C-alpha cells in the first residue's frame, strides 16, 4: 500500500513540472479553440518572427489543422520560397544571425513547452527602450535579451521605471509613444501569437479536444449498454 501511495505521488511530478510557472507573471488564457485567433497567430508568426526564427518541427501543410486550405497557406503564409510540404524554416542563416545578434535565434517549435505560455506573453509584451544595449532594447522578463523589439510598430515604444525593492528590482513599463495598435488590440495580438506557439508545441491537442466529446459520449453509451446487459443477465436469477 505504501509503495502504491509513493508511486501515485511520483506520477504527479512531471505534471507539476509542466504546469505554467506562475511567479509574478500575469496568467494568460489562450484561444486554443478559436480557429480565427490561431490563424491570426500563425500570420503574425510568419510575418514578424520567421525573419529570424524557424519552427522546423512544423510543416506548413499541417496548418490545415487551423481550418486553412493548402492554397490559403501557400498564398498568405509562405514568404520563404518553400513548398507547402516543407518545414517552417527561416531563410536567415543561423551563423549570420549569431554574428549579427551575438546569439542565434532559437527554433521556436516547442518554445511554449520550455518557457511556458505566461512567460512568452510577458516576454513579447516586455520590451522597453534601453540605449545602453547593443540593439537599443531590453526586456522586463528576459534581462539583456539580444532579440530586437520586433513588434514595436504595433505596440509602440515602452520605457521602464525601475524601483529597488525587498525582492530585487521591480520594473514597471509605460507606453511612451503609441504604436499602430491600441494597448487592448496589441494584447489580443500577443495572445493570438502565444496561442499559435502553444499549438505548434503540441499540434495534436486540437484534435484531442475535438475528439473529447465523442469519447465521453461513447463511454456514456457503453455504460448504458453494460448496465442493460447486466440487467438482462441477472433477470431470472433473483
Q: Does 179 bind ligand HEC (CB under 6 A)?
A: no
37: left (phi over 0), alpha (psi -120 to 50) or beta: alpha
User: Which of 37, 42, 46, 52: binder of ligand HEC (CB under 6 A)?
Assistant: 52
Contact 58, 67 (CB under 8 A): no
Site stretch for ligand HEC (CB under 6 A), options 47-55, 155-163, 198-206, 218-226: 47-55
Write the binding mask 109 to 128 for ligand HEC: x where contact by CB under 6 A, - elsewhere: --x---x----x--xx----
> For ligand HEC, how many residues bind (rule: CB under 6 A)?
21
Residue number of the CB atom closest to ligand HEC: 49
Question: Nearest Cα to 152, choosing from 133, 170, 134, 139?
Answer: 139
**Is the Cβ–Cβ distance between 128 and 173 less than 8 Å?**
yes
Whole-number minimum distance, CB 114 to ligand HEC, in Å?
6
Distance of CA 154 to the CA centre of its chain: 19
Rounded least distance, CB 63 to ligand HEC, Å: 16
Interface with ligand HEC, residue 77, by CB under 6 A: no
Position among 94, 148, 156, 179 found at the interface with ligand HEC (CB under 6 A): 148
Cα dihedral across residues 191, 167, 157, 80: positive or negative:
negative
Query: Does the protein bind ligand HEC through residue 147 (CB under 6 A)?
Result: yes
Q: How far is the CB of 18 from ligand HEC (least distance, A)?
A: 16
Q: Which of 208, 233, 200, 160 is nearest to 77 (CA)?
A: 200
146 binds ligand HEC (CB under 6 A): yes
| Rounded CA separation 188/39 (Å) | 13
What string marks each residue from 93 to 112 as x (binds ligand HEC by CB under 6 A) or -?
A: --------x-x-xx-x--x-
Residues ≥6 apart with Cβ < 8 Å to 102: 134, 146
Q: Please list, in sequence order, all residues whose beta carbon lies within 8 angstroms of the beta carbon of residue 169, skipping any fewer than 6 positions away.
A: 162, 163
Residues 211-230 contacting ligand HEC, CB under 6 A = none
- With vertex at residue 223, the alpha carbon angle to CA 218 and CA 226, rounded to the nearest 5 degrees, is 125
CB of 189: closest distance to ligand HEC in angstroms?
9
Interaction site with ligand HEC (CB under 6 A): 48-49, 51-53, 101, 103, 105-106, 108, 111, 115, 120, 123-124, 145-148, 150-151
Amino acid at each position: 500500500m505504501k509503495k502504491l501511495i509513493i508511486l501515485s505521488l511520483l506520477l504527479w511530478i512531471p505534471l507539476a513540472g509542466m504546469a505554467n510557472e506562475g511567479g509574478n507573471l500575469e496568467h494568460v488564457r489562450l484561444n486554443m479553440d478559436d480557429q480565427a485567433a490561431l490563424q491570426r497567430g500563425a500570420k503574425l508568426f510568419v510575418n514578424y518572427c520567421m525573419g529570424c526564427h524557424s519552427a522546423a518541427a512544423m510543416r506548413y501543410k499541417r496548418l490545415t489543422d487551423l481550418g486553412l486550405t493548402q492554397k490559403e497557406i501557400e498564398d498568405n503564409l509562405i514568404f520563404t520560397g518553400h513548398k507547402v510540404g516543407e518545414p517552417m524554416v527561416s531563410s536567415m542563416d543561423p551563423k549570420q544571425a549569431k554574428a549579427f545578434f551575438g546569439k542565434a535565434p532559437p527554433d521556436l517549435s516547442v518554445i511554449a513547452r520550455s518557457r511556458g505560455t505566461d512567460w512568452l506573453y510577458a516576454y513579447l509584451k516586455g520590451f522597453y527602450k534601453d540605449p545602453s544595449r547593443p540593439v537599443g532594447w531590453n526586456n522586463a522578463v528576459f534581462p539583456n535579451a539580444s532579440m530586437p523589439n520586433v513588434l514595436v510598430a504595433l505596440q509602440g515604444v515602452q520605457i521602464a521605471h525601475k524601483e529597488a525593492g525587498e525582492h530585487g528590482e521591480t520594473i514597471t513599463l509605460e507606453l511612451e509613444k503609441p504604436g499602430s495598435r491600441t494597448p487592448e488590440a496589441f494584447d489580443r495580438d500577443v495572445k493570438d501569437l502565444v496561442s499559435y506557439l502553444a499549438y505548434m508545441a503540441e499540434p495534436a491537442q486540437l484534435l484531442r479536444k475535438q475528439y473529447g466529446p465523442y469519447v465521453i459520449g461513447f463511454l456514456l453509451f457503453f455504460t448504458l449498454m453494460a448496465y442493460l446487459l447486466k440487467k438482462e443477465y441477472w433477470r431470472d436469477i433473483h
